[in-house]
Every structure is written in C-alpha cells, then in structure tokens.
Amino acid sequence: MTTLPGIADIHAAAARLSGLIIETPLIESQELNRRFGGRILFKPETLQRTGSFKFRGAYNKLSSLSAEERSRGVVAFSSGNHAQGVAASAAMFGVKAVIAMPSDAPAMKIANVRKMGAEVVPFDRFRDDRMTVIRPYMERGMVLVPPFD
C-alpha cells in the first residue's frame, strides 16, 4: 500500500529545495477571467531550472537517497522533462545517471540530458518496454527515479 505524502513531507521537500529552485510567480489574465467567468492563474514552470516542475521531484528523490545508494547511481526513463530533472539533480550530487529516452524524443532534450552528464539509452517507444530497457541497470544496483510517485 502506497502512503501519500503529508503536509510535513511537503514542508521537508520545500526546505530541501530552498535556494535551488526558482520560485515561479502566479500570473493572472484579466481577459481569461472575463471570458471564463472565474479567476484563472498560470504558474510558468517553464522558467524553472530545467524548464519544468520535474526538477523538484527528481531533486527530492536524489536528496532522500543514502550516500551508499547515490554511489550506485540512478536510472530513469523519460521523453524529456523528467530526464532533464534527473540529469540536473544527479549532476548536482555528483551521481552517475542513466536515462532511457525514446529515440524520437525531442533532440534538444536528449542533447540537454547529455550536456548535464547523464548517459542516454535510446529505445523505440512503440517496440520496446521501458522497464525492460532499464532493468539491467537496476539489477546492477542503480536506483530507479520514477517520473511519478
């Protein structure tokens, strides 16, 4: 049974991320408020360190690992945003990262992941099972950083 995070977990995550993330603003559009008859707010996470909110989860996961777990490296699968978050976080911790990415993922995201120092393992999203692709790395002891959970 999965235990959902509580408010204490959220506060702890915020403390771990303090000073590392961009506190993105809320932006309001009066025109959209009028058009839809409510208050519409946008949170531009594209301004975040890696261009999405995924950095937050990846960094929190890596920060929760023991030194021994980090020494084994991390593995993930993603077509872009999570891959970049894991690669950036791994670089910050000096941890080896292997990311399985679909071969048709955006070239810029693949390049960014490599530029951050992660190894990219391409796979065919229509033919290959991503868990099968990363399983050998997990069997060698690398820690899975899932794109959700």
What is the mean predicted confidence (pLDDT) over 63-76?
Answer: 97
User: Which sequence positions are flagged as catalytic?
Assistant: 54, 79
Q: Which CATH number fits domain 7-144: 3.90.1300.10, 3.90.1150.10, 1.10.10.10, 3.40.50.1100?
A: 3.40.50.1100
Name the token pair of 95. Answer: 């941890």
Q: Which residues contact 114 (CB under 8 A, 6 or more apart)?
A: 120
Per-residue pLDDT tens over the stretch 79-133: 999 999 999 999 999 999 999 999 999 999 999 999 999 999 999 999 999 999 9
